[in-house]
Amino acid sequence: MKKIIKIVLIVCICIGAGIGYIFYYFMWDTQSVKKGEQLRSVESPEGNYIANIYHGTGGATVDFSTIVEIEKKDSEKKKNIYFQYHCEDVKLKWISEEEVEIDHKKMNIFRDVYDYRH
């Protein structure tokens, strides 16, 4: 009987962890957002980074969105730092090599992430 209880407990923990990961992936992780069509790219003042702006379309059931991805020029590193729903485009301006202003929100490209969901 103790073995059955342990097996049931392990199965429940695995199912809970799987559900938790799926929830995190779809609700909190901005890196999992589908980008869609690239609108334009804006280079940083010193030219080390590029801000790529994408217009995301979710199909018939989901409205459009805007995603801003920061790309380091000399490597393959990319990071989504901005995700706004029901937004067709954004105003983006580099303040410095580490800071960008997106729709009046100042953000550090290494620390800050804006996601309308939270």
pLDDT digits (tens, 9 = 90+) for 96-105: 999 999 998 9
pLDDT, residue 31, reads 63
Query: Does the pTM of the predicted model rise above 0.85?
Result: no
pLDDT, residue 52, reads 93
pLDDT, residue 3, reads 85
CB of 86 closer than 8 Å to CB of 92: no
Q: Rounded distance, CA 115 to CA 112, Å?
A: 10
Low-confidence ranges of the chain (pLDDT < 70): 20-34, 58-62
Q: CB count, 10 Å around CB of 86?
A: 9
